[in-house]
Amino acid sequence: MKIHEYQAKELFARYKIPVPSGRVACTAEQARAIACELGRPVAVKAQVHVGGRGKAGGIRLATTAEEAQTAAQAILGMNLKGLTVQRVLVEEACDIAQEYYVGITVDRSARQDVAMVSSVGGVDIEEVSAQTPQKIAKLHLDPLYGLLDFQARLLVGQAGLPGSVGQQAVAILKQLYKLRRDCDASLAEINPLVLTPEGRLVAADAKINVDDNALFRQEELAALREEQEEDPIEAEAHRRGITYVRLLGGDVGVIGNGAGLVMTTLDVVQREGGRPANFLDIGGGAKAELVANALEIVLMDPGVKGVLFNIFGGITRCDEVAHGIRQATSGMSIRVPIVIRLTGTREQEGRKLLEGSALISAESMDSAAREIVKLVRQGHVAPAAVTAERGATASGHSG
Ligand code: GDP
Ligand code: MN
């Protein structure tokens, strides 16, 4: 879960990480009042859960309260990468001598936490990492030890931050590590960490992502969740109690039972040349209604051109799932081909239930993936045509 910059900066302040003074505003008048109160040039910054707001026009500097009001007027209601700006942060503008980067996150391939410091901040850090990785000092961390003093000094030294600036950076990095651990954050990042002409470090931006699986013990942070800022399909799935993750740019909807099976299915679809559109795990013992719900959710994504069910019957009964799929598809007008692989408990009963419908039955995971990828490529829109063409094979497989 993402939180806004202004919320992250409130946390920073609690952890004694220096931030510019400022407050959030919902109207241009409020923005003016805050700028007036601050009595200094301000930065007016869109508060939406996207990166690169600066480049997208979501950040403006203003020298007077009137200018701040005009800036807020322009930014509020703006569409930034699909999200409407409803709030702006109005804060003291900082003078920038240098922009640095400090971040702590999870390095998935190393299966460890990683702390990073760079003297090249204020720009897209992924780009720096790809083009000039030597410009980012990185250190993997052992969660049992945390971030030790000497490690923080080492990192800051490697990044080339000089003297007293380095000392401030060490203190900030240590506090950021504490904050990240206390908040169960998967990411805590300051980009840019600004060096002012007076030689002070200030967090000009703040990014914190909280691990969704820790929200049960992060009451204060959980209360910051904003549905409208989430993917609308993910939000709907959440409401229906379905474990669904959207994968942007995909065309094959995937539904399976068990997280491992679903992830494998995503890999197999990819291997067959398809692009999975989502992760959806209907869990164990899935009943018809849940299956119908799952299918509805997957089809809400307009990019989905075909759906693959991969069901391993154990506690989950294949006939229950087949019943659910039929129930769901009889009530909806299905615009895409659906391939179903059923195996395990009551698979024959399950396949029988699919006969005489437009639903395509497959025996193995590989053949199911190959089939759906082929159908999506061919751009099948009429399931009836699919049945006719596939009729012989489908019935041949059932039984
Ligand atoms: P992001 O684009 O969403 O990452 O938003 P940031 O808060 O990181 O701002 C992007 C860039 O805008 C920074 O790297 C700065 O160059 C500039 N910027 C942001 N706040 C200020 C400020 O208070 N003063 C000045 N001079 N520039 C700022
Ligand atoms: Mn930034």
Whichever domain contains 88, its CATH number is 3.30.1490.20
Query: Residue 10 falls within a domain, yes or no?
Result: no
Query: Which residue's CA is the nearest one to ligand 1's atom 7?
Result: 205
pLDDT for 399: 33
41 and 142 part of one domain:
no
180 and 283 part of one domain:
no
Query: Which residue's CA is the nearest one to ligand 1's atom 13?
Result: 122
Nearest by Cα to 261 from 294, 240, 283: 283
Which of 222, 244, 267 finishes a domain? 222
pLDDT for 398: 35
- What tokens appear for 112 in the block? 């460890």
Whether 272 is catalytic is no
Class of residue 219 by CB neighbours under 10 A (exposed 0-12, middle 13-18, buried 19+)? exposed
287 and 380 part of one domain:
yes
206 and 268 part of one domain:
no
- Containing domain of residue 35, as a range? 20-92
33 and 104 part of one domain:
no
The residues with which 281 forms a beta bridge, in sequence order, are 243, 256
Query: Residue 12 falls within a domain, yes or no?
Result: no
316 and 198 part of one domain:
no
H/E stretch holding 362: strand 360-362
Query: Residue 239 falls within a domain, yes or no?
Result: yes
pLDDT for 172: 98
196 and 260 part of one domain:
no
pLDDT for 384: 44
Q: Which of 4, 59, 123, 208 to mutate for ligand 1's pocket (most ligand atoms within 8 Å of CB)? A: 59
267 and 368 part of one domain:
yes
Which of 158, 189, 222 finishes a domain? 222
d(Cα 78, Cα 80) in Å, to the nearest integer? Answer: 6
The residue with tokens 């408990």 is: 345
* Number of domains forming the structure of the chain: 3
CATH code of residue 208:
3.30.470.20
Q: Report the length, in residues, of the chain.
A: 399
Whether 15 is catalytic is no
Class of residue 336 by CB neighbours under 10 A (exposed 0-12, middle 13-18, buried 19+)? buried
Class of residue 381 by CB neighbours under 10 A (exposed 0-12, middle 13-18, buried 19+)? exposed
207 and 234 part of one domain:
no
Catalytic pick among 6, 100, 101, 244 = 101
Query: Residue 8 falls within a domain, yes or no?
Result: no
pLDDT for 381: 54
Which of 188, 222, 256 finishes a domain? 222
Catalytic pick among 189, 229, 320, 371 = 189
CB 171 within 8 A of CB 197: no
Query: Residue 2 falls within a domain, yes or no?
Result: no
Query: Residue 379 falls within a domain, yes or no?
Result: yes
Give the chain's residues under pLDDT 70.
380-399
200 and 238 part of one domain:
no
pLDDT for 347: 93
Which atom of ligand 1 lies closest to the CA of 123?
A: 14
Does residue 5 come out as left (phi exceeding 0), alpha (psi in the -120 to 50 range) or beta?
alpha
pLDDT for 334: 81
Instruction: Give residue-wise pLDDT tens across range 192-232.
Output: 999 999 999 999 999 999 998 999 999 999 999 887 777 88
Query: Which residue's CA is the nearest one to ligand 1's atom 15?
Result: 122
280 and 249 part of one domain:
yes
Query: Residue 136 falls within a domain, yes or no?
Result: yes
Determine the 3-state secondary structure of 320 from DSSP.
Answer: helix
Query: Residue 78 falls within a domain, yes or no?
Result: yes
Which atom of ligand 1 lies closest to the CA of 121?
A: 14
Q: Which of 96, 127, 190 to mutate for ligand 1's pocket (most ligand atoms within 8 Å of CB)? A: 96
216 and 72 part of one domain:
no
CATH code of residue 285:
3.40.50.261
CA 209 to chain centre: 9
Determine the 3-state secondary structure of 339 from DSSP.
Answer: strand
Q: Which of 47, 90, 101, 205 to mutate for ligand 1's pocket (most ligand atoms within 8 Å of CB)? A: 205
